């Protein structure tokens, strides 16, 4: 099974805004989400691992990987070729 | 929300007086929670369909988020789960099933926000590296 390595992890402005807001209102959740996201850059993983961590939802734009973590839905898009993980949105859920 | 909590508490009181009716109400609550599955499915189909009208998604977003980014519906679901656990009306297995259905529903609601935000921005987004975020937080 092919192994994936993420070289860069980037956040959208709205995701960054949400983390900034959480740092004030719920610092524990902010720290948990940041560490959780950061952990993806530290390991090599396969597709099976990815499917364990995320649900795949199809939207009118493209396929999104969604995780439910620390009472938030985290929307992620992967560019496997460039090895970049894009954090699109973090929404309370 | 307080109304729902009062209702659930009242239901526990009703249990000893009208056991059969209490069981009927419990089944209705169960049916209501499981019917949410179908709503999630319908919503996801609408959000995946490129032909669905943006105005329809905007109305859906405004209904769910009521012009505030924190959905009251999500707070209500969390409160419902918390109280239903405290009242011990349902078995652990049933509670786990409720949690799964409602977690999926909460993610679908968040998906509405995600699709709406994408529509509003025309799909364009600017990104920053997480390393910058770490530096800013230090």
| CA distance linking residue B127 with residue A86, whole number of Å | 8
Number of residues that make up chain A: 93
B71 inside 8 A of chain A by CB: yes
Asked if B110 lies within 8 A of A13 by C-beta distance, the reply is no
CA separation for the pair A5, B120 (Å, rounded): 32
Which of A68, A66, A91 has its CA nearest to residue A76?
A: A66
pLDDT at position B78 over 70 = yes
Instruction: Assess whether pLDDT exceeds 70 at residue B137.
Output: no
As given in the structure block, the two tokens for residue B90 are 């349902």
Q: What's residue A1's pLDDT?
A: 66
Calpha distance B62→B58 (Å, rounded)? 6
Q: Reply yes or no on whether the pLDDT at B46 is more than 80.
A: yes
- pLDDT, greater one: A82 or A1: A82
Render pLDDT for A38-85 as a digit per residue (tens, 0 to 9): 899 888 888 888 899 999 999 888 888 999 999 999 999 888 888 999
Question: Which positions in chain A touch B125 (Cβ < 8 Å)?
Answer: 12-14, 86, 88
Q: Is the CB of residue B68 less than 8 Å away from at least one CB of chain A?
A: no
Per the CB < 8 A criterion, the answer to whether A54 and B106 are in contact is no
**Partners of A77 in the beta sheet?**
A86
- Burial code (b: 16+ CB inside 10 Å, e: under 16) for B57-91 equals beebbeebbeeeeebeebeebbebbebbeeeebbe
b/e burial code for range A18-31 (CB count within 10 A of at least 16 → b)? bbeebbeebeebbe
- In a mutational test of the B interface, the residue from A23, A56, A60, A82 whose CB has the highest number of chain B CBs within 10 Å is A60
Tokens of B5: 């909590």
| pLDDT at position B67 | 64
Residue with tokens 């999630």: B40
Q: At what angle do helices B54-65 and B92-121 cross, to 10 degrees?
A: 130
Residue B47 has pLDDT above 80, yes or no: yes
What CA–CA distance (Å, rounded) separates A11 from B29?
40
Query: Which of A7, A10, A19, A87 would best serve as a mutation to test chain B binding (most B beta carbons within 10 A)?
Result: A10
- The pTM assigned to this predicted structure is 0.84
The pLDDT value given to residue B124? 73
What is the C-alpha separation between B110 and B92, in angstroms, rounded?
Answer: 27
Asked whether residue B123 carries a pLDDT value surpassing 80, the answer given is no
Which ipTM was obtained for this model? 0.85
């Amino acid at each position: 099974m092919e192994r994936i390595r993420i070289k860069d992890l980037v956040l959208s402005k709205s995701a960054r805004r949400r983390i900034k807001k959480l740092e004030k209102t719920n610092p524990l959740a902010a720290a948990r989400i940041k560490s959780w996201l950061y952990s993806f850059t530290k390991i090599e993983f396969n597709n099976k691992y990815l499917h364990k961590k995320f649900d795949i939802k199809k939207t009118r734009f493209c396929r999104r990987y969604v995780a439910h973590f620390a009472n938030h839905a985290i929307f992620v898009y992967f560019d496997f070729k460039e090895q970049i993980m894009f954090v699109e949105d973090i929404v309370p859920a | 929300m307080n109304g729902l909590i009062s209702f659930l508490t009242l239901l526990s009181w009703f249990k000893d007086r009208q056991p059969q009716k209490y069981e009927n109400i419990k089944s209705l609550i169960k049916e209501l929670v499981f019917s949410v599955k179908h709503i999630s499915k319908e919503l996801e189909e609408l959000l995946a369909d490129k032909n669905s009208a943006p105005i329809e998604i905007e109305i859906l977003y405004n209904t769910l988020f009521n012009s505030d980014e924190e959905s009251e519906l999500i707070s209500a679901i969390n409160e419902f789960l918390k109280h239903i656990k405290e009242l011990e009306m349902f078995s652990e297995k049933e509670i786990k099933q409720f949690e799964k259905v409602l977690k999926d529903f909460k993610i679908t609601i968040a998906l509405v926000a995600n699709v709406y935000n994408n529509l509003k921005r025309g799909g364009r987004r600017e990104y920053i590296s997480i390393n910058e975020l770490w530096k800013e937080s230090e």
